[in-house]
């Protein structure tokens, strides 16, 4: 069992650990599923954020969501990709986390998610917080105190 005496690091704001929005691949609500499939394939990411024209976070889109949306009874209906809009198939119930939230909240949420979309108070997309980054910080902390 790891025992951590000084818990201050749990209250560090997550702002320092975010991969900022300009470095994050995303799609826009009006894009079609074909474009999203291209972005996901080319970047190699499992899921990416969906933003509106004002850079507000609207949802999350994964390869699985796209495939699921074109599953026919007999075969995968690739021809539907061009007509399907990203906002018709994206996931909208995302865990909410803001730039001002603390490390502890990020840690708790990242148990169930590989990454989190982080917003400013007004809903503008700020970037992502990944499990990889938080684990690295946690490791650094554990090694420094033991």
Note the residues at the interface with ligand AMP (CB under 6 A): 19, 23-25, 45-48, 114-115, 128, 130, 132
Q: Which lies closer to ligand AMP via its Cβ, residue 4 or residue 25?
A: 25
Beta bridge partners, 20, equal: 127
Confirm if 119 and 13 have CB atoms less than 8 A apart: no
Distance in Å, CB of 8 to ligand AMP, minimum: 25
Instruction: Give the shortest CB-25-to-ligand AMP separation in angstroms.
Output: 4
- For residue 4, CA distances in Å to 11, 49, 135, 144 come to 13, 34, 15, 11
Shortest distance in whole angstroms from residue 47 CB to ligand AMP: 4
Which is closer to ligand AMP, CB of 15 or CB of 80? Answer: 15
**CB-facing half-sphere around the CA of 78: CA atoms within 13 A:** 2
């Amino acid at each position: 069992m790891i025992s951590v005496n000084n818990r201050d690091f749990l209250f560090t704001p997550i702002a320092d650990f975010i991969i900022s929005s300009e470095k994050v691949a995303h799609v826009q609500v009006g894009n079609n599923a074909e474009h999203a499939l291209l972005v996901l394939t080319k970047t190699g990411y499992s899921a990416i954020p969906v933003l509106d024209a004002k850079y507000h976070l609207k949802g999350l889109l994964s390869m699985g969501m796209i495939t699921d949306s074109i599953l026919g009874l007999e075969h995968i209906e690739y021809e539907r990709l061009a007509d399907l809009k990203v906002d018709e198939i994206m996931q909208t119930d995302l865990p909410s986390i803001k730039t001002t939230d603390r490390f502890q909240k990020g840690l708790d949420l990242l148990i169930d998610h590989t990454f989190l979309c982080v917003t400013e108070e007004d809903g503008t997309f700020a970037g992502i917080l990944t499990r990889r980054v938080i684990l690295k910080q946690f490791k650094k902390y554990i090694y420094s105190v033991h």
